[in-house]
Amino acid sequence: MIDMRLGVFSVSLSVKDLQASRAFYEQLGFEVFGGDEAKHYLIMKNGDSLIGLFQGLFEQNILTFNPGWDANAQPLDDFDDVRAIQKALKTKGVELTREADEATEGPASLVLLDPDGNPVLIDQHV
């Protein structure tokens, strides 16, 4: 079995009203951690829990992993590169709907679907 360190986990929610969603999650103790309201998205944080709120940017909620980041969006020295994760997934026969360019280094992403059609984004920013 191949180990894969997928990085910090968050849920990226497709929301109808960014302000209403922000207010709701603030009631649950989340605070704005990042994002840009003018660009229709906010990243909210409560402890190590992260939720991305995205208005009009995609249709479905997305499970998101960020290799190379900790829960504070700080770079890690030791992590599994998204291209290594991609290679391991392909070795296991996992079908990808979007692939990272294996000839590159640094930021890249890939997408796969779980058995129920939920998108899983592995999005490396470093």
pLDDT tens by residue, 112-126:
999 999 999 999 999
The answer, yes or no, to whether residue 1 has pLDDT greater than 60, is no
Q: How many domains does the structure of the chain reveal?
A: 1
Q: Which pLDDT does position 2 carry in this prediction?
A: 60
Instruction: Note down the domain range covering 28.
Output: 8-124
Say what the pTM is: 0.91
Q: Which pLDDT does position 85 carry in this prediction?
A: 97
In a domain, 3, yes or no: no
Residue 24: pLDDT band by 50, 70, 90 thresholds? Answer: very high
* CA–CA gap between residue 22 and residue 44 (Å, rounded): 8
Q: Which pLDDT does position 3 carry in this prediction?
A: 80
Average pLDDT over residues 87-96: 96
Helix (H) or strand (E) holding 21: helix 18-27
Average pLDDT over residues 20-27: 98
Three-state DSSP at 50 gives strand
Q: In the structure encoding, which two tokens stand for residue 15, read together? A: 């929301």
Read off the pLDDT of residues 35-44 as tens digits, 9 standing for 90 and up: 999 999 999 9
DSSP letter for 9, please: E
Q: What CATH code is carried by the domain that includes residue 59?
A: 3.10.180.10
